[in-house]
């Protein structure tokens, strides 16, 4: 049995990502966490637990606090999942668009569906802790004037009606989830995530990026993070397409005097990205 922690509840996108990574046939013991803070706390307090953590979305952008959680922890990235996010508008029996007064969901989900609700200015959008939890609450209170945004799987598991499917503003709405653990025993990989600080001087970042280029290393992501306690200074996380470990080792030698506080956040296999939908 695989034991893991997710942010969210049964039918949430984190649960869907977990099964996509570990496999539908795998027996999973899932710790449902109301927040990412609770997720990392659960992992710290429970031995040998995996974590599933959303880190960026193609519409809403990077979830910076989750990088902060990761950097403050001992955990490593061991894998990733790219998930197509299809939001559904769910309601109880007899609910229809005409009588909906409020729609409840996670703020990220609401943000990704704003264009749909432009056509319904009378509907008030209410932020909640989780998409699937909103669906469960709706099922329990049986309100007819409230709907939620959640997944098709949440509708199936709870027996809610799908009022509208695909209400997200952009059909190319994907979320990248990190799979984390307290150790990485996988000897094979093709992607590396790296965190480092730069010298606070003109052209420092440009010089570092040029070194990656010189060694024919492709950066699939670069993310700046504020250095807490040093106003207007930043550290960086980069994701590296590491088809050649020799190239990676060579560039790290070249950068030895230019970057500091270097930490490898994980070595893992790149997740499969969607090309067509």
Q: Supply the pLDDT for residue 274.
A: 67
Are 43 and 52 contacting, i.e. CB atoms less than 8 angstroms apart?
no
2-85+173-181 to CATH, choices 3.40.190.10, 3.50.50.60, 1.10.600.10, 1.10.150.20: 3.40.190.10
List the pLDDT tens digit at each of the 277 positions of the chain. Answer: 899 999 999 999 999 999 999 987 668 999 999 999 999 999 999 989 999 999 999 888 899 999 999 999 999 999 999 999 999 999 999 999 989 999 999 999 999 999 999 999 999 999 999 999 999 999 999 999 999 999 999 999 999 999 999 999 988 899 999 999 998 767 789 999 999 998 777 888 999 999 999 999 999 999 999 888 888 888 999 999 987 788 899 999 999 888 989 999 999 999 987 655 4
Task: Tell me the DSSP string of 213-277.
Answer: HHTT-EEEEEEEEE-TTSTT-EEEEEEEE-S-HHHHHHHHHHTTTTEEEEEEEEEEPPPPPPS--
Among 165, 175, 180, residue whose Cα is nearest residue 274: 175
Fold of 193-266: Alpha-Beta Plaits (3.30.70)
Tokens of 17: 């990502």
Domain positions in the chain are 2-85+173-181, 88-165, 193-266
pLDDT at 277: 44
Q: In whole angstroms, what is the distance from residue 211 CA to residue 253 CA? A: 10
**Helices first, then strands: H and E counts in the chain:** 9, 15
Examine domains 2-85+173-181 and 193-266 and report if their fold is the same.
no
Do the beta carbons of residue 193 and residue 237 sit within 8 Å?
yes
CATH number of 88-165: 3.40.190.10
- Give the residue among 181, 147, 143 at the shortest CA–CA distance from 163: 147
Residue 39 and residue 5 in contact, taking contact as beta carbons nearer than 8 Å: yes
Integer-rounded Cα Rg, in Å, for the chain is 21
């Amino acid at each position: 049995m695989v034991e893991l922690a997710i942010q969210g509840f049964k039918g949430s996108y984190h649960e869907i990502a977990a099964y996509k990574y570990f496999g539908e046939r795998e027996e999973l013991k899932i710790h449902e966490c109301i927040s990412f803070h609770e997720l990392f706390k659960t992992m710290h307090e429970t031995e040998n637990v995996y974590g599933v953590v959303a880190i960026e979305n193609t519409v809403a952008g990077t979830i910076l606090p989750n990088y902060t959680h990761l950097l403050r922890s001992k955990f490593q990235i061991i894998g990733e999942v790219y998930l197509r996010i299809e939001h559904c508008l769910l309601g109880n029996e007899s609910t229809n668009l005409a009588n909906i007064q409020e729609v409840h969901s996670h703020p990220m989900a609401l943000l990704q569906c704003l264009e749909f609700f432009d056509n319904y200015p009378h509907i008030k959008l209410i932020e909640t802790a989780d998409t699937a939890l909103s669906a469960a609450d709706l099922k329990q209170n049986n309100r007819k004037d409230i709907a939620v945004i959640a997944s098709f799987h949440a509708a199936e598991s709870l027996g809610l009606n799908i009022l509208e499917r695909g209400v997200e503003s952009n059909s190319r709405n994907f979320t990248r989830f990190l799979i984390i653990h307290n150790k990485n025993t996988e000897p094979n990989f093709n992607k590396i995530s790296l965190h480092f600080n730069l010298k606070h001087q003109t052209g420092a970042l440009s010089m570092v990026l040029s070194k990656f280029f010189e060694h024919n290393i492709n950066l699939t992501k670069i993310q700046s993070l504020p250095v807490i306690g040093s106003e207007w200074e930043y550290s960086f996380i980069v994701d590296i397409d590491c088809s050649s470990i020799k190239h990676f080792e060579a560039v790290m030698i070249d950068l030895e005097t230019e970057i500091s506080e270097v930490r490898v956040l994980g070595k893992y296999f790149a997740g499969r990205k969607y090309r067509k939908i």
